[in-house]
Amino acid sequence: MATSTTSHGPARITVLISGSGSNLQALITACNTDALPNARIVRVISDRKDAYGLKRAEAAHIPTTYHGILPYKKKQPDTSENPQWQAARRAYDAGLAQVVLADQPDIVVCAGFMRILSTAFLDPVKGANTPIINLHPSLHGDLVGAGCIKRAWDEYEAGKRRSTGIMIHYVIAEVDMGEPIVQEEISMEGCKTLADLEESIHDREHGLIVKGTKIVTQGLARHGGS
């Protein structure tokens, strides 16, 4: 079996989720196989308390943390100079960075994490030389932001496109514009409904998120860890 370790042992992975965690499950299943060798998920963090992905992690004996934004909103004043949502978002992200860095991960994987991460999170995590990667349901530079699958479907129905794609990319402040690690084009031909396209994309995502994570962890191993 191939190896992919950092200088201090197996690659330590923190996974951020918001929902059912099917991509998280793909990572859990792949850890310590040829698909993702010598890797360990050290924590799963969700911004939603009822996210089913937390149950998946608990079933695999992986530590979990619920990190919700409501307490941060309650602490922030709401003024025209300091909009409550903006201040709360930065405070939330700074708190999230502290939770993540406490585990000293080698990589942070956003696997269906539905929040846009601000520099209040990105700067301290990247300052610790910890790469952050994200799964996005579009090719690089094509569709950015939320609702990409529905937007692609609308264009397909209008005869403006015949394919879409998925990618794993590094997370930067500019949403979905970080350097792609791996991406895959997906033909839309034969899809009769939006649900068909969603199913096709989600099925392919499971393999791609494992592949992208492996590429990054192997890179860490070659360079002696983070």
Share above pLDDT 70 across residues of the chain, in percent, rounded to a whole number = 90
Which residue segments constitute the domains of the chain, with CATH numbers given?
A: 5-141+166-187+204-222 (3.40.50.170)
How many other β-carbons are positioned within 10 Å of the β-carbon of residue 98? 11
Q: pLDDT tier at 81 (50, 70, 90 boundaries)?
A: low
Specify the higher pLDDT residue, 180 or 84: 180
Residues forming the active site: 136
Task: Decide if 47 contacts 72 (C-beta within 8 A).
Answer: no
Task: Decide if 151 contacts 165 (C-beta within 8 A).
Answer: no
Residue 197 phi/psi, 5-degree rounding, is: -65, -45
pTM equals 0.89
* Alpha helices (runs of H) in the chain, residue ranges in sequence order: 22-30, 52-59, 70-75, 84-101, 119-127, 148-157, 194-222
pLDDT at 185: 97
State pLDDT tens for residues 166-177: 999 999 999 999
State pLDDT tens for residues 100-119: 999 999 999 999 999 999 99
DSSP state of 36: B
State pLDDT tens for residues 13-35: 999 999 999 999 999 999 999 99
The radius of gyration computed from the CA coordinates of the chain, to the nearest angstrom, equals 18
